[in-house]
Amino acid sequence: MERWSGRVALVTGASIGIGAAIAKELVKHGVIVVGLARRVHMIQELSKELHMYPGKLYGVKADLSKEEDILEAFTWVKDNLGGVDILVNNAGVISFSRLVDAPSCEWRQAYAIHVIAPSICIREAFRSMKDREVDDGHIVNILSITTNHSPEQQPIIMYFASKQSLRVLTEGLRRQLLQLNSKIRVTIHELTIRPVGEQ
């Protein structure tokens, strides 16, 4: 991790849960972290708790379903910190409504947060790395282990569908970066959701 000390990471969904934990670990290792979320005050609170560590956590308010918010966040990083070296696409939304009668706004939100927002972040992070000739950058996409947990077990089909889309995008990104002879690394980080009723 030493080589990342002083470098800049952008973590989406850093206000709570896994994103906040990732931000904390990176700050512990000296990374300058920019956390994106709507509840930016929670990132700012976390930042105060991390003052003893070598890195730093900044909170930038962004609704990831709005492209203009994402672009403004990248502009903020460029103006204040130079650019992005590590991108962690972590933000997620879950809905337990059924496919047969859920409101379509929930489906749009799942795809906005799990597919479109990560894609915009990847494009902007790649541009930031390329502009600064950073060839050791790292892009991490947080997925779910969907293959072992059939959607029939839980009424979160659109969640699984959108996370599978992000898996396909990640594999495509890997191939594109190879074609471009880029050394930017792409990692899928898979987490398990416990099936309902399992202890």
Ligand X SMILES: NC(=O)c1ccc[n+]([C@@H]2O[C@H](COP(=O)([O-])OP(=O)(O)OC[C@H]3O[C@@H](n4cnc5c(N)ncnc54)[C@H](OP(=O)(O)O)[C@@H]3O)[C@@H](O)[C@H]2O)c1
* Active site members: 159
Nearest distance in Å: CB 25, ligand X: 13
- Looking at the Cβ atoms of 119 and 182, the one nearer to ligand X is 119
* CA 32 to the chain's CA centroid: 16
Nearest distance in Å: CB 55, ligand X: 19
Contacts (CB under 6 A) with ligand X, residues 64-103: 64-65, 90-93
Q: How far apart are CA 30 and CA 148, in angstroms?
A: 36
Is 119 a binding residue for ligand X by CB under 6 A? The answer is: no
Nearest distance in Å: CB 133, ligand X: 30
**Choices 56-64, 95-103, 118-126, 169-177 (CB under 6 A): range interacting with ligand X:** 56-64
Q: How far apart are CA 95 and CA 43, in angstroms?
A: 24
- Looking at the Cβ atoms of 108 and 183, the one nearer to ligand X is 108
Nearest distance in Å: CB 163, ligand X: 7
Task: Give the one residue of 144, 146, 162, 170 binding ligand X; rule: CB under 6 A.
Answer: 144
Nearest distance in Å: CB 107, ligand X: 14
R_g (Cα) of the chain, nearest Å: 17
Report phi then psi at 133, rounded to 5: 55, 40
Q: b/e map of 50-84 (b: 16 or more CB within 10 Å)?
A: beebebbbbbbbbebbeeebbeebbebbbeebebb
Q: How far apart are CA 185 and CA 48, in angstroms?
A: 31
Specify the DSSP element, H or E, that contains 138: strand 138-144
- Looking at the Cβ atoms of 134 and 173, the one nearer to ligand X is 173
- Looking at the Cβ atoms of 42 and 177, the one nearer to ligand X is 42
Is 54 a binding residue for ligand X by CB under 6 A? The answer is: no
Q: How far apart are the first and last CA of the chain?
A: 34
DSSP class of residue 62 equals -
Is 38 a binding residue for ligand X by CB under 6 A? The answer is: yes
Specify the DSSP element, H or E, that contains 119: helix 117-131
Is 15 a binding residue for ligand X by CB under 6 A? The answer is: yes
Count residues binding ligand X (CB under 6 A): 23
Binding site for ligand X (CB under 6 A): 13-19, 37-39, 62-65, 90-93, 113, 142, 144, 191, 193
